[in-house]
Amino acid sequence: MPEPENHERLDEAVRIRRERRARWQREGERSLGQNLAMIGVLGWTIVTPTLAGIFAGRWLDRQFGSGVFWTLGLLVLGLALGCSLAWKRMSHE
């Protein structure tokens, strides 16, 4: 016999699945246009902070004459921020 904790997790998973199916039956699938719009929004959600990091990094590197130190650091920071924002958006949808 399954442990009570596993049984509760299974019940929760079944409940969530039923709610999703009911919502899908009520609302239907998203259209192709809506899916393409979502892809575009996610792309810009990642690209915008990344580009902002690159431009800010290049500006700082020119100010301090530090090669690509700031550019690389802010590129990675912008990319991480963009991916985090995209992940949150997808989780919300």
Structural domain boundaries in the chain = 1-30, 31-93
What HEC string does 32-71 produce?
HHHHHHHHHHHHHHHHHHHHHHHHHHHHHHHHHCCCCHHH
| pTM for the predicted model, two decimal places | 0.69
Please give the Cα distance from 46 to 84 (Å, whole number). Answer: 8
Dump pLDDT digits (tens) for 17-31.
Answer: 999 899 888 988 888
With 0-12 / 13-18 / 19 or more C-beta atoms within 10 angstroms meaning exposed / middle / buried, residue 92 is exposed
| pLDDT at position 4 over 80 | no
Dump pLDDT digits (tens) for 28-58.
Answer: 888 899 889 999 999 999 999 999 999 999 9
